[in-house]
Structure formats: C-alpha cells, structure tokens
Structure 1
Amino acid sequence: VPPPAAISNAIYDAVGVRLRELPMTPARLAASLQSRDRD
C-alpha cells in the first residue's frame, strides 16, 4: 500500500473522515470534520 493511501486509511480509522486530496493538512481534516458534523 502506498504511504498516502495508508495515511488516509489511518485517518479514516481514527476519526471516520476520508481525505482524498493531497496534501492532507490539519486544515483540510478540520474542514472535513466540521462538514461531517453539520450533516
């Protein structure tokens, strides 16, 4: 498994948000979490 895919899977396993774009930044993770919480 390539490193970015492994990191994306680890983030998904930890917080339930799938990041599909690089770079996977804390800001993108926070935005994804906020978006998920609004739904």
Structure 2
Amino acid sequence: MHAVVVTGRPPRWMPPVLDAAAHKSTLICANWAIVLDSES
C-alpha cells in the first residue's frame, strides 16, 4: 500500500509524523511546494 502525507508544514516537521505512522511514504509539504520520498 502506498500512502501520501500532505501538509502545509515544512519538511523538517515530518520525521516525528513518519515515526508515529511506522511506514514510509511520499510527502507533499509546504503547501504543495515540496514533494519528497521519505525513504531517501
């Protein structure tokens, strides 16, 4: 299963969220300005 995390927050806020979710996913941060792969 592939999950996408979308937030208006900057990428530096995401590590605790990903730790709590216990899986890797695609991140869309900073109001769609930044798209990241959390595994890289």
TM-score by length of 2: 0.28
Rg larger for = 1
More strand by share: 2
TM-score by length of 1: 0.28
Higher relative contact order (CA 8 A, sep 6+): 2
